[in-house]
Structure 1
């Protein structure tokens, strides 16, 4: 493996201002590192909205910048450029960075955000582990959403996972043993656990028919459980209005479309049956087939198009 320190730069002056003389001798009560990268599954944009909230509410200081040229496949994810009349005027360069933020009580924490690398995952994970050790990170925690066969009319659930017993003992496990496509965030958690660093993840269960939308209630749940796990004060109430508006809009759409309403009622029945028999290996109480996320999403799009035409 190449030297992990060759793919990132640290702003040492910014580190001194925010963390002091951070190094290997930092006490175990060091800052929390939160991560949510774009490019992997993020139903309801749970992680994306959470990052936007954190960056919008709290003062940020850039500490670490990764060399994305070494880890991004530009031809598979072409960055957006702007052409205006007769010239190129803008380029939205991909980035991967670690910022320092201070929460509502002034407690500092770190945020790893930007694009999920396409290449050299083990090298990137090793680089992040270097950062964890250099800054004395006490807990690394990831946020994102996954589509699930649950209705929007019931409390949102989540899957919590961690690198050792005690990190997620207060959470119910909804899944047994499964194999799923990997992500850099999952690999980071796994590798940190192998080197005895505390790491965990919060995965919000988003109604599968809302998976492609920006669903603020999902971000609220993610941030609330980030607060629970870390003790940070993240001003989640600032998202309450957006979350309430999202619920109203979905309720109106469902009420005006009989087919979607029937599916939601079916999901409610299954959710309620599951809640009465907690401990089943999955969220669905029966094996009857339900429309896929793509089918329901297409139905929503057709319905919205009809409303616009009217």
Structure 2
């Protein structure tokens, strides 16, 4: 019988917290526009924080599938950028403490990992676990991004009506964590931001803004958002620059807008998850945007 506490190490100076929220996101699963990664990365960049726990990545991560970057200098190896899956303690803009868990999605021992997180949740007295990520949808960037909410109890999301029925999809460590800890009686919920499918492979800060705004509504945590709003504005300006330079893109976006507005105006809004569409908004459109944004990133 394996002991789940062997999977992590608590910091000696880990603080005592009062009912903190735990925000988490793991790299490796679907995250259109980098919604979850950018959101938590923004918080770690903006807020003072300390590592309170680290997981044993040698046990959890397959290094052959996610090889760490190593630096070779002249005639010797000088550095290895090791993987890190850690929990950070920080406070929001009002001084309310909360936790952030981030890093690569575990490749193995998922059930033991969820047990380990459960023990840690009890140790810190976590009141609520919240995850976030982006999913590609057939929606235009010129409309407000939607959010699909899910939770271990319907009361956590005000019994929101979902456009999804009962479906089976490939699992993720984040989803299993919500399921297993919910089964244990913990409050766990998540936000899936609807990201324009033609921007799903690019960094789309607007998706991170939407994710954090959803977290604020669901938890009461308040975050510094100015720099993220600035990044979102710059990205939208670059997208508009690309659209104005291409009549094909202008037509494609207009078609998506008409489709979106028609669904929104209907009595029942159908599922807009990205599927092949009878309009030029598929791989060609995505490739044009991705190439454009990549060029802009290189020019900075």
Give the TM-score, by structure 1 length: 0.89
Matched, 1:78 2:78: no
Q: Where does residue 245 of structure 1 map in the other structure?
A: 234
Q: Measure the CA separation in 2 of the matches of 1:224 and 1:254.
A: 27
Unaligned runs of 5+ residues in structure 1 are 20-28
Residue 43 (str. 1) matches residue 36 (str. 2): no
Q: Deviations over 1:111-162 (max 9, x none)?
A: 0101100011111111011111111111000011111110000011110100
- Residue 174 of structure 1 corresponds to 163
Contact 1:224 1:236 in 2 (8 A): no
Match of 1:57 among 46, 61, 64: 46
Distance (Å, rounded) in 1 between the aligned partners of 2:288 and 2:37: 25
Q: TM-score, normalised by structure 2?
A: 0.92
Structure 2 unmatched ranges of 5 or more: none
- Aligned pairs for 1:258-273 within 5 A: 258-273=247-262
The 2-side partners of 1:227 and 1:91 are apart by 37
Partner of 2:7: 7
Q: Residues 26-81 of structure 1, C-alpha deviation per residue, up to 9 Å, x if partnerless?
A: xxx60000001111111111111111111111111111110000010111111111
Preserved CA contact (<8 Å) 2:22 2:130: yes
In the alignment, the residues of structure 1 paired with residue 139 and residue 206 of structure 2 have an alpha-carbon distance, to the nearest angstrom, of: 14
Could you say if the C-alpha distance between residues 92 and 234 of structure 1 is closer, same or farther in structure 2, counting changes exceeding 3 Å? same
| Superposed counterparts of 1:114-125, under 5 Å | 114-125=103-114
Residues 305 and 72 (structure 1 numbering): CA distance in 2 closer, same or farther, change over 3 Å?
closer
Shift in Å, 1:179: 1.9
CA distance in 1, matches of 2:104, 2:27: 5
Distance of 1:213 and 1:287 partners within structure 2 = 20
RMSD: 2.2
> What are the residue-to-residue correspondences of 1:12-27 with 2, within 5 Å?
12-16=12-16, 19=17
Q: Provide the residue aligned with 2:99 in structure 1.
A: 110
Distance apart, 1:298 and its partner CA: 2.1
CA gap 1:110/1:303 in 2 versus in 1, 3 angstroms: closer
Matching residue of 1:212: 201
Q: Is the 8 A contact 2:8 2:55 kept in 1?
A: yes
Once the two structures are superposed, what CA deviation does each residue of 1:240-281 show, in whole Å capped at 9, x if it has no partner?
111111111111111212222222111111100110115334
- 1:88/1:223 CA distance change after superposition, 3 Å: same
Give yes or no for the alignment of 1:255 onto 2:241. Answer: no
Contact 1:164 1:198 in 2 (8 A): yes
Separation in 2, partners of 1:291, 1:15: 54
Matched, 1:198 2:187: yes
Q: Flag the 1:3–1:298 CA change in 2: closer, same or farther, 3 A.
A: same
Note the 1:156-175 alignment, pairs <5 A.
Answer: 156-169=145-158, 171-175=160-164
The residue that corresponds to 2:288 in the other structure is 299
Question: CA shift at 1:295, angstroms?
Answer: 3.4
Equivalents in 2 of 1:9, 1:306: separation in Å? 42
Q: Secondary structure at the match of 1:14?
A: coil
Change in 2 beyond 3 A, CA 1:106/1:301: closer
Alignment of 1:132-147 (within 5 A): 132-147=121-136
Distance change in 2, residues 1:177/1:281 (3 Å): farther
